[in-house]
Chain A
Amino acid sequence: QSALTQPASVSGSPGQSITISCSGARSDVGSYKLVSWYQQDPGKAPKLIIYEVSKRPSGVSNRFSASKSGNTASLTISGLQAGDEADYYCCSYAGSSTWVFGGGTRLTVL
């Protein structure tokens, strides 16, 4: 149950696009289309923004998109806004009814 690997931080200017990677293993990200992404503001509970690799829950902006290739998943945020500044976490089903999160990425909007 090793944590998925995310960059500690990314940054971008308003209007730009950024991508956050989430590297796992063949036993988790590589084996299941069950990757999700979360946005967490300081002191708040996480919010689901992507499920099943690339699907957006109702109400989540289409500026958030995601994909997966092999053992690596990616989250892209286009048209960066100041309100996107937050921590982002990926999560994958890892088999045997276990799940694993990434270490989290702090997004700074310059």
Chain B
Amino acid sequence: EVQLVESGGGFVHPGGSLRLSCAASGFTFSSHWMHWVRQAPGKGLVWVSHVSSEGSSTSYADSVKGRFTISRDNAKNILYLQMNSLRAEDAAVYYCARDFQASGFDYWGQGALVTVSS
């Protein structure tokens, strides 16, 4: 059974940093692109970042470019999102999701809540 389990969410002040992790199991992690998608409270889904299967290629939404870094450890089956210079507007539930043929995201974690407030 495919499982994605996020961790690392929490409260942080504006300007602070946080690192999210997503532990993957039940599939060959190293064969799949992976993504982070976020959802602010009461708002819609927003794609945040993508990483290729081997980790050599990454991409970001304009809103997080230069502040967030996606990475992966294929030996440990873990996806990461390092979030720096956090802003109030970054507050959201962050989901890790498995890529499906570049056409969508077929498995999602339960989400990690990030709260940014002074």
Contacts and interface: CB of A to CB of B under 8 A. Distances in A.
A98 B63 CA distance: 12
A52 B102 CA distance: 9
B103 A34 contact: yes
Interface of A: 1, 3, 33-36, 38, 40, 45-48, 50-52, 57, 89, 91, 93, 96-104
B101 interface: yes
Contacts of B110: 45
A1 B64 CA distance: 12
B45 A101 contact: yes
A97 B104 contact: no
B89 to A, nearest CB: 14
Contact of B47 (A34, A40, A98): A98
A58 B23 CA distance: 24
Interface of B: 35, 37, 44-47, 50, 57, 59, 61-63, 95, 100-106, 108-111
Contacts of A52: 101, 103-104
Nearest to A50: B104
Given A45-B109, A51-B103, A101-B47, 17 more contacts: A3-B46, A33-B103, A36-B100, A36-B103, A38-B45, A38-B105, A46-B95, A51-B101, A52-B101, A89-B44, A98-B47, A98-B61, A99-B47, A99-B50, A100-B47, A101-B44, A101-B45
Contact of B106 (A33, A40, A57, A100): A57
A38 B95 CA distance: 14
A89 B108 contact: no
Contacts of B109: 45
Contacts of B46: 3, 101
- Give the most central of A46, A50, A91: most B CB within 10 Å: A46
Contacts of A100: 47
